[in-house]
């Protein structure tokens, strides 16, 4: 006589009860991030948000991103407390390059099976990133894909929406001899990690190896710097003519995205690796990458680059120093008769 195991959602690998427990854990974390414009409860079918009243002709700005294979470093270090900050940073740092104020954020977490402790750490990091950005975590989705997703693994994506005045839309109005200001990164941020993982695998490098005062693992896991506060403070004082968030494609690739006809950027070599020197020197030595390959892969010490008028340098310096944000003048805008390009001189 044959016996048949009862077919149920739980038997197939999806635990509804565990999912409900996670929602209860998330609710107070999200609530702490709520701005006054947020008026929904976490757990509903959709999230509601009012446009702030101080905008006369508002337009909405949106951005979506993930954190890529940096998650693998979090797995190796068994530390998932800051990866959520990376997720928020990747979205809101893109958002602010247009001059927008971040309003709210939603996340998507997918795994084979919900691990309550790990999920709580991840979402706590997302809530922390939202607090730093002054945006509300108003919803999200946690999906279980049993037998269809690597065991014990997860992936993360996020979506943010901001607002700005229509008249404030940036037109890249820079000119000859304007300055390129590089804002110090907190480390590698969230890019170049596929190369890093290949390096760790091929050379069998231990994450406990020291880079300066910290282990390599800790240095690689350092969360992405969120620049919302700094950019908002500067925007009130000076005209930021253009901004580039330095992500995939490195310093060169992202500066190329804001080039315009008749202008090139001349970067000063001496300032290109002047922050996080030990880390970048170590990576260059281990990977045998050329300087140009490094600049096309990593942020090389700068997470955000701003273009400003020479006359605004003093005000920019004063504002950034007050916020303890380190920076350097990394280059200038020059005219070109040929194709616009980013040159290292």
pLDDT, tens digit, 9 for 90 and up, residues 52-75: 999 999 999 999 999 999 999 999
| pTM for the model | 0.94
Identify the residue whose tokens are 């980013």.
342
Residue 149 three-state SS: coil
pLDDT score for 6: 63
**Which of 332, 345, 255 is CA-nearest to residue 299?**
255
Q: What pLDDT was estimated at residue 9?
A: 47
In the chain, the domains with their CATH numbers are 16-168 (3.30.1330.10), 179-344 (3.90.650.10)
Per-residue confidence (pLDDT) for residue 5, from 0 to 100: 59
Residues 113 and 19 sit within 8 Å (Cβ to Cβ): no
10-residue stretch averages of pLDDT, the chain, 345 residues long: 54 67 89 90 85 95 97 96 98 96 97 93 97 96 89 95 92 92 97 94 92 92 98 96 96 96 94 89 91 94 97 98 97 93 91
On the 0-12 / 13-18 / 19+ scale of CB atoms within 10 A, 207 is: middle
The set of residues, in sequence order, having a beta carbon less than 8 Å from that of 85 and lying 6+ positions away, is 125, 126, 128, 129, 132, 223, 224, 226
């Amino acid at each position: 006589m044959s016996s048949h195991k009862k077919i149920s959602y739980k038997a197939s690998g999806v635990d509804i009860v565990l999912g409900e427990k996670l929602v209860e854990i998330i609710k107070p974390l999200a609530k702490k991030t709520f701005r006054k414009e947020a008026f929904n409860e976490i757990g509903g079918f959709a999230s509601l948000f009012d446009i702030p009243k101080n905008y006369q002709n508002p337009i909405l700005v949106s951005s979506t991103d993930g954190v890529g294979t940096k998650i693998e470093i979090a797995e190796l270090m068994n530390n998932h407390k800051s990866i959520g900050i990376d997720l928020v940073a990747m979205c809101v740092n893109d958002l602010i390059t247009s001059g927008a104020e971040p309003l709210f954020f939603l996340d998507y977490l997918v795994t084979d099976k919900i691990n309550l402790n790990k999920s709580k750490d991840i979402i706590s990091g997302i809530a922390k990133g939202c607090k730093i950005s002054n945006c509300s975590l108003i919803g999200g989705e946690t999906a279980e894909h049993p037998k269809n997703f690597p065991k014990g693994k997860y992936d993360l994506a996020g979506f943010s929406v901001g607002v700005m005045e229509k008249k404030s839309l940036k037109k890249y109005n820079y000119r000859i001899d304007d300055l390129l200001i590089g804002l110090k990164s907190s480390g590698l941020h969230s890019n170049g990690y596929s190369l890093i993982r290949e390096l760790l695998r091929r050379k069998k490098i231990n994450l406990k190896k020291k880079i300066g005062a910290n282990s390599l693992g800790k240095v690689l896991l350092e969360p992405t710097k969120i620049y919302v506060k700094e950019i908002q403070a500067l925007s009130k004082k000076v005209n930021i003519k253009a901004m580039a968030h330095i992500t995939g494609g490195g310093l060169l690739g992202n500066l190329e995205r804001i080039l315009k006809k008749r202008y090139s950027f001349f970067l000063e070599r001496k300032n290109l690796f002047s922050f996080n020197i030990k880390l970048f020197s170590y990576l260059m030595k281990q990977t045998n990458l050329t300087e140009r390959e490094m600049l096309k892969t990593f942020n090389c010490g700068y997470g955000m680059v701003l273009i400003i008028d020479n006359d605004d340098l003093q005000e920019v310096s004063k504002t950034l120093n007050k916020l303890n944000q380190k920076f350097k003048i990394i280059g200038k805008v020059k005219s070109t008769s040929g194709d616009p390009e980013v040159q290292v001189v």
